[in-house]
Amino acid sequence: MIHKTIEANSIPIVIGIKSQIIVFLMHSATLTRVHATPAIDVGRKVKRLTSIDLLRGAIMIIMALDHVRDYFHRDVFFYSPTDLTQTSVPLFFTRWITHYCAPVFVFLAGVSAYLYGVKKGKAALSFFLWTRGAWLILVELFVLSLFKTFNPSYPYFNLQVIWAIGICMIVLSSLIYLNARLILLIAVLLIAGHNLLDGVHVPNDSSFLFIWSVVHEVRQFTIGPCVVNVQYPVLAWIGVILLGYYLGRLFDPAYDPVKRKNQLLQMGVGAIVLFVLLRSEHWYGDPVDWSMQKNAIFSLLSFLNVNKYPPSLLYILVTLGPALIFLALAEKPVNKLTARISVFGRVPMFYYLMHLLLIHLAALLGAILQGFKLQDMILTKAVYNSPQLKGYGYNLVIVYVIWIALVLVLYPLCKWFDHYKRANTGRYWWLSYL
């Protein structure tokens, strides 16, 4: 088994949170005003807001950059791009900008769930969430793992964002029956309070160890011939999807657009302000404090370098805050560029599957061009931990060129599938799962 050393008796009793976290709770309490909206008729046709597809599409384009970097950048084998002792400013921000992807995916999954419930009713929504969540878990395990490794023996499972969204959907399938304000309260408590559990550890020989890892702590396990890396503990992500579900009512086209814009702006700016306050004074919300570095720009990098695994409160604030502001400002008539970006946002699962497959195929070609063998890209672990690829990789400029080329190749594929899906969703039930 591969894991970090854990002290068996290191479970602190946390008495309270710093007073500043109350600011977050007070700010979130203003969201309860959203609940006082007119009742929505179940079964009413809900028109998609282009701002949601635009945000999701933009995030999916950015996400591909991180995965291209994983498979092509030569320095990925030696150090993390957020390691301030070795990274450069362009490399740091190449990684940091992709931090927005997972929170936005999970948040918008909650928003979409609410809008689906408006059309179909809660019973249908609960069934859909449970079955789609189970489907996403299977996709992560058996489809994405194969695309990432090209190894049908499945020596390595990396439980990442698709798996986490699947778990979150299954949990949400039950919680949708709760009172809306209770859903908001649970969301806020999970997002704001889960860092209180950072000091809670489970003994290595405990039968509860894997469950605790799934809930809150990144761990790696060896199960028979397979390595299982739990990279996305789900506790905080459940809070994010619940928050998205609660705020989904803002995105019904019947909701006053001026009111929606103002509320999204207030929440987005409030999240950023709270992030700055908590981070600057080292009060609460992230397991690693920032520190002064060799110059001002690297000190800023340290300030922004918040924890993703699991996502800290500060990580969620600094990513969802700008996303909410984007949603507030993006409700404009589409132009040619935004229309094209929105295509990716309407077929997220198809895009996710295709982009990983194409990246690995392109990396296989890239390795052959550098003198490696085809089988060197048949992986038994993450590409950047594969010793047979020592010396492989390209500079950051080439990484960006490959990323842009990938997006251009994906566009006609996604446009075709978007047209096919919209034309046939009523005929083929399985299209709603892609």
On the question of a cis peptide bond just before residue 322, with omega within 30 degrees of 0, the verdict is no
Q: What pLDDT shows up at residue 6? A: 34
Rg (CA), the chain: 22
* Cα four-point dihedral sign 117, 260, 162, 321: negative
Q: What pLDDT shows up at residue 254? A: 87
* SS3 at position 26: helix
Rounded CA gap, 67 and 98, in Å? 10
Inside any domain, residue 50: no
Rounded CA gap, 197 and 301, in Å? 26
Q: What share of the chain is helix, strand, coil (3-state, %, to 5)?
A: 65, 5, 30
List the domain range (segments joined by +) for residue 108: 99-348+406-433
Tokens for 240, please give them.
């994010």
Confidence band (pLDDT; 50, 70, 90) for 44?
low
Confidence band (pLDDT; 50, 70, 90) for 79?
very high
Q: In what order do the strands lie in the sheet containing 156-159? A: 156-159, 226-230, 219-223
Rounded CA gap, 162 and 418, in Å? 20
The answer to which of 142-156, 163-177, 314-328, 415-429 has the lowest mean pLDDT is 415-429
Q: How many CB atoms lie within 10 A of CB 258?
A: 8
Percent of the chain with pLDDT over 90: 82
pLDDT in tens, 275-302: 999 999 999 999 999 999 999 999 999 9
Q: How many CB atoms lie within 10 A of CB 289?
A: 10
Inside any domain, residue 20: no
Rounded CA gap, 10 and 99, in Å? 30
Inside any domain, residue 425: yes
pTM of the model: 0.90
State the total domains in the chain: 1
Q: Given the DSSP bridges, would you call strands 219-223 and 226-230 parallel, antiparallel or unpaired?
A: antiparallel
* SS3 at position 99: helix
194, 222, 258: which is closest to 14 by C-alpha? 194
**Across residues 44-65, what is the average pLDDT?**
86
Rounded CA gap, 146 and 165, in Å? 19
Q: Strand runs (DSSP E) across 177-265, as ranges? A: 219-223, 226-230
Q: Is the pLDDT of residue 36 over 80?
A: no
Inside any domain, residue 369: no
Q: Strand runs (DSSP E) across 143-258, as ranges? A: 156-159, 219-223, 226-230
Q: What pLDDT shows up at residue 86? A: 96
Inside any domain, residue 6: no
Inside any domain, residue 65: no
Rounded CA gap, 115 and 250, in Å? 10
pLDDT in tens, 392-425: 999 999 999 999 999 999 999 999 999 999 999 8
Residue listed under structure tokens 């086209």 = 253
pLDDT in tens, 226-240: 999 999 999 999 999
Q: What pLDDT shows up at residue 4? A: 34
Residue listed under structure tokens 């009523």 = 426
* SS3 at position 73: strand
Q: Given the DSSP bridges, would you call strands 156-159 and 226-230 parallel, antiparallel or unpaired?
A: parallel
pLDDT in tens, 237-277: 999 999 999 999 999 988 999 999 999 999 999 999 999 99
Percent of the chain with pLDDT over 70: 89
Inside any domain, residue 393: no
Inside any domain, residue 188: yes
* Cα four-point dihedral sign 127, 133, 134, 136: positive
Confidence band (pLDDT; 50, 70, 90) for 132?
very high
pLDDT in tens, 185-238: 999 999 999 999 999 999 988 889 999 999 999 999 998 889 999 999 999 999
DSSP 47: P
